[in-house]
Amino acid sequence: MSAKKKQFVYGKNLDNALLAVYNAYVFFIRFFREVFRGRMEFQEIVRQCYAIGNRSLLLISLTGFITGMVFTKQSRPSLSEFGATSWLPSLVAIAIVRALAPLVTALISAGKIGSSIGAELGSMRVTEQIDAMEVSAVNPFKFLVVTRVLACTIAIPVLMFYCALVSLLGAFLNVTLNEGTSFIAFFENAFEQITFLDIWTSVAKAIAYGFTIGIVGSYQGYNASKGTEGVGKAANSAVVTSMFLIFIEEVIIVQVSNYFRI
């Protein structure tokens, strides 16, 4: 490729990247404008919350339970070296509440819910269903995007609490089979080290992740083009982009919460 052609291609790619960032910014701002404009579609929000919970409950139960059990199993040898296996419940609880439950919930939801929002809105876009809403004087952004983003923001923190509970049950099962610890003793020990800051940080994380999954999935689907290929691309980009953003948010929120911890 000649130097001039290379420069042109790179220039065009940069233009496209900047345009994508600008479009995402406009979409993000529009969401906040539309939330407070016109009547709220409460029924649709409830329907979406139910759909999100229904879609992810089984997967979150399974992954949460296994995460709790495996993490406990992996942590035991290190603690037993120092004769500190009695710390296992509190160590596992801290890990689950602070990091594992929000992250596992978010990653599962990004794959399950983010992709489904991207595909659903994408197929509505390419089959002109979104245009049909627009020409019948209904605001499709308010009905499709605002409801899905709010539903994700509400439902994912609830799923996160559920995931934490199931993970702790997985951890308890492992501990009780190995150390014979009772249910009450395990949970007393586990919650001893958990502070309100831990819980609020996890809630903040889950809210941020939920919002991210909802808005990224909606953005990708709402702006899908090029027929069925575009629908697949929207679903795929919804997962990849939201996972990437979730990890960035994780770093930022942990930094901020550590500042308060000190």
Partner 1 sequence: MEEDFKPGEPVIEVRDLYKSFGDLHVLQGVNLTVNKGENMVVLGRSGTGKSVLIKIMVGLLKQDRGDCIVLGKEVSNLDGNDLRDLRLKIGFSFQNSALYDSMTVRENLEFPLVRNIPNLSRAEIDEQVEYVLDAVGLLQTINQVPAELSGGQRKRIGIARTLILKPEVMLYDEPTAGLDPITCLEINELINEVQKKYQTTSIIITHDLTCARATGDRIAMLLDGKFLKTGTFEEVFDTDEERIKSFYDYNFIQ
Scanning 72-80, 109-117, 134-142, 229-237 for contacts with partner 1 by CB under 8 A, the matching segment is: 134-142
* Among 19, 132, 197, 256, contact with partner 1 (rule: CB under 8 A): 132
**DSSP per residue, 211-231:** HHHHHHHHHHHHT--SHHHHH
Scanning 124-132, 147-155, 217-225, 231-239 for contacts with partner 1 by CB under 8 A, the matching segment is: 124-132
Per CB under 8 A, 137 contacts partner 1: yes
To the nearest whole angstrom, how small is the minimum distance from the Cβ of residue 22 to partner 1?
A: 19
Residues 152-190 as b or e (16 or more Cβ within 10 Å = b) = bbbbbbebbbbbbbbbbbbbbebbeeeeebeeebbbebb
For 117, counting Cβ atoms within 10 Å of its Cβ (0-12 exposed, 13-18 middle, 19+ buried), the class is buried
Q: Whose Cβ is closer to partner 1: residue 39's or residue 83's?
A: 39
- Selection from 163, 172, 151, 166 nearest residue 202 by Cα: 163
Q: Whose Cβ is closer to partner 1: residue 131's or residue 229's?
A: 131
* Footprint on residues 25-84 left by partner 1 (CB under 8 A): 39
To the nearest whole angstrom, how small is the minimum distance from the Cβ of residue 237 to partner 1?
A: 22
Q: Whose Cβ is closer to partner 1: residue 4's or residue 39's?
A: 39
Name 126's Cβ contacts closer than 8 Å, sequence gap at least 6.
224, 225, 226, 227, 228, 230, 231
Contact between residue 94 and residue 261 where contact means Cβ atoms under 8 Å apart? no
Distance CA 48, CA 214 (A): 11
Per CB under 8 A, 138 contacts partner 1: yes
Q: Whose Cβ is closer to partner 1: residue 129's or residue 178's?
A: 129
* Among 131, 188, 192, 229, contact with partner 1 (rule: CB under 8 A): 131
Per CB under 8 A, 15 contacts partner 1: no
To the nearest whole angstrom, how small is the minimum distance from the Cβ of residue 53 to partner 1?
A: 18
Per CB under 8 A, 129 contacts partner 1: yes
Q: Whose Cβ is closer to partner 1: residue 58's or residue 138's?
A: 138
Per CB under 8 A, 3 contacts partner 1: no
Q: In this structure, what token pair is assigned to residue 86?
A: 């009695």
Scanning 67-75, 96-104, 137-145, 211-219 for contacts with partner 1 by CB under 8 A, the matching segment is: 137-145
Residues 35-58 as b or e (16 or more Cβ within 10 Å = b) = eeeeeebeebbeebbebbbeebee
User: How many residues are given for the chain?
Assistant: 262
* Among 135, 184, 251, 262, contact with partner 1 (rule: CB under 8 A): 135
For 3, counting Cβ atoms within 10 Å of its Cβ (0-12 exposed, 13-18 middle, 19+ buried), the class is exposed
Q: Whose Cβ is closer to partner 1: residue 97's or residue 121's?
A: 121
Contacts to partner 1 by CB under 8 A: 39, 124, 127-129, 131-138, 143
